[in-house]
Structure 1
Amino acid sequence: MSNIKIEPISPHQVDTLRQLAMDTYRETFGHDTTEEQLQAFFNKDYHPDVLKAELSSDESDHRFVYVDGELAGYLKVNWGSQQTEQELDNAFEIQRIYILKAFQGYGLGKTLFELALDMAKAADFEWVWLGVWEHNFKAQKFYAKYGFEKFAEHDFVVSENKVDTDWLLRKRLK
């Protein structure tokens, strides 16, 4: 049995977060995205200044997950003004759950997802929601098992010449 540990990410760990974010995003979407598009996305969304601001926000929470002391993935959740969309009142967003391919199959994504749900319930939010790529059928099926339903779509801008569509899924907590 592996030793799994989840810890908050602090602003001084921005470089580690940035590298992990780029590595996991590349592993997940590199098959459908050119190197130029990846770099444009990394330079915009994973710029150190952007990540530092996110890590310093009172309306976001970031966690690293480790397996036997090795960094395996991360979680990012938002509420209030830090949400990527303002579609729902009293809502909690699960924005990012990324696990390195080498650590997939350990149940880490499910562990982080359930942690996020527990955080939303403990903070007394009415809704929990997330965005999922329209072609990620495995994730859509996973979220449906937890009672999430599609309520909208939005553009996910990767670069100026690549825009994906994310389905917005929600679940009422109370």
Structure 2
Amino acid sequence: MLKIHKATVQDIPEIQSIAKTTWPVAFDGILSQSQLDYMMRMMYNTQELTSQIEGGKIIFWLAAIGKQSLGFMAYESQLPIQPQIKIHKLYILPAAQGKGVGKGLLNNLEEYGRSNGFETVTLNVNKYNSSAIKFYEKRGFEKIKAEIIPIGQDYIMDDYVFTKKL
């Protein structure tokens, strides 16, 4: 049975391990190895993850079956500015994809959002990550725009923005 819990700083090595396993598969043929390495260092270093988790603005959830963590999600509520939740990260180990882990994380987030007065969930997806795009569209998300986000060292994130009404 899938169990989801809020991550703490003690879970950072697990988050990093899932990211290190998932990213090369998710972005194969999409990002260069140098951009992949840069983004991993920037987004998943221990100091950055500790700051996000301890800061409380970005919430991480880990999904596991038994003692085996299979994926994670990071999100933030954008209240009081707007009644939406922004998903920053959702990664499932390649071996666990298609087994309901991502769906379980999204279901939990949507339930949380509805019961706390949120109206929408938004997220960004790399324009060339067709499997992620199909996953979100199947879950009822709609593409609303494209955007290019500079992330440093002349790298960009070339994304679609998706939204779903709760």
TM-score interval, smaller chain: 0.7 to 0.9
AA aligned to 2:57 is: E
Aligned to 1:165: 158
Quote the offset at 1:140 in angstroms: 2.7
Name the stretch that deviates more: 148-157 or 37-46.
148-157
Q: Note if 1:110 corresponds to 2:99.
A: no
Q: Note if 1:98 corresponds to 2:91.
A: yes
Distance of 2:62 and 2:150 partners within structure 1 = 25
Conserved 8 A contact 1:150-1:168: yes
Aligned to 2:19: 21
Aligned to 1:5: 3
Quote the offset at 1:157 in angstroms: 4.9
Structure 1 residues 157 and 21: CA distance shift in structure 2, 3 A: farther
TM-score (norm 2): 0.85
Conserved 8 A contact 1:41-1:159: no
Conserved 8 A contact 2:85-2:121: yes
The CA RMSD measured in Å over matched residues stands at: 2.3
Instruction: Give structure 1 stretches of 5+ with no counterpart.
Output: 82-87
AA aligned to 1:37 is: Q
Aligned to 2:118: 125
Aligned to 2:77: 79
Quote the offset at 1:18 in angstroms: 1.9
Name the stretch that deviates more: 44-53 or 156-165.
156-165
Aligned to 2:141: 148
Query: Which ranges of 4 or more aligned residues in structure 1 deviate by more than 4 Å?
Result: 156-159
Quote the offset at 1:92 in angstroms: 0.6
Conserved 8 A contact 1:24-1:99: yes
Question: Percent same amino acid at aligned positions?
Answer: 24
Instruction: Give structure 2 stretches of 5+ with no counterpart.
Output: none
Equivalent residue pairs, number? 165
AA aligned to 2:59 is: D
Aligned to 1:30: 28
Quote the offset at 1:156 in angstroms: 4.6
- What SS does the corresponding residue of 1:170 show, helix, strand or coil? strand
Quote the offset at 1:161 in angstroms: 4.6
- Aligned match for 1:50, one of 44, 48, 51: 48
